[in-house]
Amino acid sequence: MSPRRTDTGGRIDRLKTIRFTFDGAAYTGHAGDTLASALLAKGVTLYGRSFKYHRPRGLLTAGVEEPNALVTVLKGEVREPNIPATMVEIHDGLVAISQNRFPSLAWDINAVNQLGGKILSAGFYYKTFMGPVFGPLKGTRFWMFCEHFIRRAAGLGSAGSAKDPARYERMNAFCDVLVVGSGPAGLMAARAAADQGARVMLADLEPRFGGSANWSDETIDGAPAADWARRTVAQLEGRDNVRLLPRTTVWGYYDNNTLAALERVSDHKEQPGKGEPRHRYWAIRAKSVVLATGAFERPLVFPGNDRPGVMLAHAAERYANEFGVLPGERIALFTNNDSAYRAAIALKKAGAAVVAIADIRPELSPEMRKLAAEAEAEIFAGHAVVATEGGKALSGLKLQRFDMTNGALIGDARSIHADCLLMSGGWSPTIHLASQAGAKAEWNAARQAFLPPKPTQSWIGAGAFTGSFSTLEALAEGRAAGLAAAGGQSTPAVLPVVEAVPGDPDPAPVFEIRAKGKSFVDFQHDVTAEDVRLAHREGFVSVEHLKRYTTLGMATDQGKSSNVPGLAIMAEALGKPIPEVGTTRFRPPFAPVSIGSLAAERFGDLRPERLTPMHDWHLANGATMYSAGLWYRPMIYGHAGETVEQAYVREAKATRDSAGIVDVSTLGKIAVQGPDAAAFLDRVYTNMFSTLAVGKARYGLMLREDGLAFDDGTTWRLGEQDFLMTTTTANAGKVMQHLEYFLDVIWPELKVHVTSVTDEWAGAAIGGPKARQILAACVTGTAVDNATLPFMGIVRGEIAGVPVMICRLSFSGEMAFEVYCGAGHGTHVWEALVEAGKPFGLVTYGLEALGTMRIEKGHVTGAEIDGRTTARDLHLDWMLSKKKPFIGSAMMDREGLIASDRLELVGLIALDNKPLNGGAHIVEEVDEANPHGSIGHITACCYSPALGKHIALALVKAGKARQGTRAHVSDPLRNRFGPVEIVSNHFYDPEGTRMHG
């Protein structure tokens, strides 16, 4: 067990011990540890098994880019897979398990996959599961046969199926300056912008602000950099104009400087606080953004570079300096650049032996030689690592002389005993957000890196993000960026003084050491350098195709460490320079995002409920509610033991026998007011409204511009310039927008205002032979007799002390009235009507009975006004005024809309006395074996208590002419075939004697 905790140093609290389990074993760590650092301190070297080959893998990094050490965190029954152990903060009671191994991490049966490396090469799926026939199994069926096994063997952690009880939330935020990243550049930018009085948000995906200051071991203004960071954060914390967001990953950069971020609010706690969300999704609209996202160190590609114990140089530096953990005791380094020397010093200081530094470059600067001497490390200039040794932990490595001009290996290999190998292949600026914001990155030959593009949106870069890798540059750029982002003019604060190890930021242009053995490029997807070359040999020349064929960079880490080495190898294979090969465009999210956070408050509760004023009364009186759009409406008021059909038949029958009352508050209601209101209605309705007398209502039909039917309803003239329009429940919003559009865009000269008053009025429709008597019994202030309240007349009066408006109109076909009152009095009036109706046998009825009575009457609803039917199809052509143009009038007479074989509204009666089904087809001749020849379909159906038959409304080709003939329903899905008679849609009381009284 070579890794261990140092006695001093690091930003952890050694006095606070935290207990957790990993793969069932109990561990302890300290406050400030990640799962990775805590396990590493306990000597754990094996963290996961690789995706395809099930190779043992250790920690490669210390941060969000970790490709190997993915774990599943269990919270009760809920499991969250594929979280980098480097991003899990330990807390008491944390339960984490490793992934992609069976039966255990140490002994994994699928590790035999390593032997079949040739088969599992690039394009494995494409090559294996297409084309030839394997015995009885065709290619695709063979694939399906294998899929089960492959899915078990290859891959990541498995998702759970338990319901996630956690809370997720969305936050909308606005700021002048959003600073992404809180390293020296980000902190400086935040401070500079805040000093200007700007509203600043500072987000960092780590729990600790400070970035590299937490582990660089540099000094800023004479104090350790970490102290400088802490002080700066403390200053920012105290300011009203600054919001600090630790544990917050800015993952998306969208149009108009809208950014998306994920805050992990309570993952690091044993229990979230009361009402506290687990994750918070921040939608941030920033006037400008400072991108101080730093850079990712790149691995070198050489055989055995994935063995546990091989780690990025800065990661080891971070474990030592930030977490007080030594990743090994005998440490070797392999680098193509100067930055690794700083790691050598850090590890030496922390107590490890640095046994060797293999540097690809033949010539080293005196500064680097001095650093190596300080670390007491033997230098191997012009050398490369060609192999690593060991099983689940590194035991040694082989070095060979290397010519970086041609990649040749010279002389004999030399073995070095080491338990940890640190590598550094240079640095890639974290340009993901800038790339998402819209422009292409530019290759910089000196830095051997893609640098951020010219901004296409309002952002400014600072620090390592721009390729400026020194802390001094980061501070200067951060200050400038913060100032500029805040639009500041005043003299900036003095730059702090930095003491840092020297170093040249430019690496040698070497990405790969070609030697025998598997050299990994993408650790998470097990893509090797040879896979990349194979893809090239097989004809993939575009970097986008390379990516898809090899799956390079397509794992959950999105190639944070592998993209550039992969490109470099591809470029070499193509014989082209890297900029000509180009890079893939980064897309959101930067790092995985919980789906819960995207659903946010809609998680588990998708839609708001819309309730009528009488909702609670319905519930208390036995209604079964039915959701109609967002509304909830009574479907039936069932009695004990009744089926739905029995209930609605009873309700409909009682209404026709005596009286029924139904809640119609959901009907769309629009106040149409103004001097031109009548003229406006003449234009939007097919029939005339300017001729309607005050105190009267009229049924109206609207068409769309293309001449098809749109919506219907009654409109009441309450005053000369004051109309109350009603619409169908479903179309209320659409009709409102339709009216607003014409008033705002087409006819701005009309003085008309439209206002949604749906919610202002409670509505009850009371109908049946006794309806008038019931009203007479409870209405005061007006008579309701035929003279005072004729058909389509409106009166005002009171019920139980509440002002009401009553219109005599009928949907049920009975003598019926709609009673409207202020919504806050809805239940009061409803109860009064129900009470007054008791002696008359009044029933409450729901949507089912309402639908039944409307089918019996042959009235149309949205099922018939389906966006394809015309007024004529629905026999509403009597409503098409010839005296005026109206919306749709110019287009309604087009050839296709007046053809004789159009689907027309008819009624159907089941001749076999069995129920009919909505959506069933109508045919002339039944052919059960081969259903065909549809002449139409059923739009609505019911059992009609009035007729004692199963009836339906249907749209049937040339339906009017077929009335009186027979046809058949053909409903193969529900196996319903049978004879029907085609009749008029007006089944019941076609003359309307009942409603006219």
Partner 1 sequence: MVERQSPLEPEFHVGSHGNFEHGVEIILTETRPGSIVQLAAWPGEEKKLIAAIRTVAGLALPDGAGGGLSDGVKSVFGFAPGKFTVADEVEGLAAAFAKVVTPIIGTVTDLSHGRTAIRIAGPKAEWVLAKFFAIDFALPAFPIGAGRSTTHHDVFAQIQRTGADQFDIYVFRSFARSFWKALCHASEEVGYEVQ
Partner 2 sequence: MLITCPYCGPRDVIEFTYQGDGNRERPDPASQNFEAWNAYVYDRLNPAGDHNEIWQHSGGCRTHLRVVRNTLTHEISSVAFAHGGHGSAARRKAEDKS
Quick check: 756 binds partner 1 (CB under 8 A)?
Answer: yes
Following DSSP, what letter does each residue of 724-749 receive, concatenated? EEEE-TTTHHHHHHHHHHIIIII-TT
Quick check: 891 binds partner 2 (CB under 8 A)?
Answer: yes
Contact assessment for residue 819 and residue 804, using Cβ atoms and an 8 Å cutoff: yes
Q: How many CA atoms, within 13 angstroms, populate the side-chain half-sphere of residue 202?
A: 36
Shortest Cβ 356–partner 2 spacing (Å): 53
Q: Which of residues 262-321 bind partner 2 (CB under 8 A)?
A: 283, 285
Q: What is the DSSP letter of 901?
A: T
Which segment (82-90, 608-616, 887-895, 975-983) binds partner 2 by CB under 8 A? 887-895
Please select the residue that binds partner 2; options are 14, 683, 957, 986, rule is CB under 8 A: 683
Beta bridge partners, 937, equal 921, 955
What SS3 state is found at 29? strand
Quick check: 741 binds partner 2 (CB under 8 A)?
Answer: yes
Please select the residue that binds partner 2; options are 227, 504, 705, 989, rule is CB under 8 A: 705
Quick check: 239 binds partner 1 (CB under 8 A)?
Answer: no
Give residue 378's Cα distance to chain centre: 53
30 binds, among partner 2, partner 1, none (CB under 5 to 8 A by kind): none
What binding mask, one character per residue, do residues 675-704 give for partner 1 by CB under 8 A, x or -? Answer: x-----------------------------
Which segment (56-64, 203-211, 273-281, 771-779) binds partner 1 by CB under 8 A? 273-281
Q: Which two tokens stand for residue 497?
A: 């003084």
Quick check: 602 binds partner 1 (CB under 8 A)?
Answer: yes
Quick check: 256 binds partner 2 (CB under 8 A)?
Answer: yes
Quick check: 884 binds partner 1 (CB under 8 A)?
Answer: no
Please select the residue that binds partner 2; options are 748, 896, 948, 964, rule is CB under 8 A: 748
Distance CA 292, CA 181 (A): 5
Closest to partner 1 by CB, 157 or 277: 277
Please select the residue that binds partner 1; options are 607, 882, 883, 932, rule is CB under 8 A: 607
List helix spans (H) across 621-699.
Answer: 644-657, 677-684
Please select the residue that binds partner 1; options are 150, 802, 897, 898, rule is CB under 8 A: 802
Contact assessment for residue 191 and residue 221, using Cβ atoms and an 8 Å cutoff: no
Quick check: 612 binds partner 1 (CB under 8 A)?
Answer: yes
Shortest Cβ 995–partner 2 spacing (Å): 35
706 binds, among partner 1, partner 2, none (CB under 5 to 8 A by kind): partner 2
Closest to partner 1 by CB, 106 or 630: 630
Quick check: 671 binds partner 1 (CB under 8 A)?
Answer: yes
Determine the angle formed by the axes of helices 225-237 and 184-195, rounding to 10 degrees: 30
Shortest Cβ 605–partner 2 spacing (Å): 18
- Burial (Cβ within 10 Å: 0-12, 13-18, ≥19) of residue 303: buried
Determine the angle formed by the axes of helices 339-350 and 313-323, rounding to 10 degrees: 40
Quick check: 734 binds partner 2 (CB under 8 A)?
Answer: no
Determine phi and psi for 658, rounding to 5 degrees. -130, -80
Closest to partner 1 by CB, 665 or 970: 665
72-97 b/e with 16+ CB inside 10 Å = b? bbbbeebbbbbbbbbbbbbbeebebb
Shortest Cβ 172–partner 1 spacing (Å): 4
Quick check: 172 binds partner 1 (CB under 8 A)?
Answer: yes
Contact assessment for residue 114 and residue 55, using Cβ atoms and an 8 Å cutoff: yes
Cβ atoms within 10 Å, residue 683 = 17
Quick check: 613 binds partner 1 (CB under 8 A)?
Answer: yes
Closest to partner 1 by CB, 27 or 742: 742
Please select the residue that binds partner 1; options are 353, 611, 679, 898, rule is CB under 8 A: 611
Please select the residue that binds partner 1; options are 118, 274, 454, 932, rule is CB under 8 A: 274
Which segment (101-109, 350-358, 420-428, 670-678) binds partner 1 by CB under 8 A? 670-678
Polymer length in residues for the chain: 997
Please select the residue that binds partner 1; options are 43, 222, 824, 979, rule is CB under 8 A: 824
Which segment (119-127, 248-256, 368-376, 413-421) binds partner 2 by CB under 8 A? 248-256
Distance CA 39, CA 31 (A): 13
Q: How many CA atoms, within 13 angstroms, populate the side-chain half-sphere of residue 984?
A: 8
Please select the residue that binds partner 2; options are 706, 722, 835, 912, rule is CB under 8 A: 706
Following DSSP, what letter does each residue of 548-586 receive, concatenated? HHH-TT-STTTTTTTHHHHHHHHHHHHT--HHHH--PPP
Cβ atoms within 10 Å, residue 610 = 18
CA angle 968, 970, 974 (to 5 degrees): 135
Please report, as ranges, the residues that interact with partner 2 according to CB under 8 A: 254-256, 258, 283, 285, 683, 705-706, 737, 740-741, 743-746, 748, 885-886, 889-891
Please report, as ranges, the residues that interact with partner 1 according to CB under 8 A: 169-174, 199, 273-277, 283, 285, 601-602, 607-613, 616, 630-631, 665, 671, 673-675, 721, 751, 753, 755-762, 800-802, 822-828
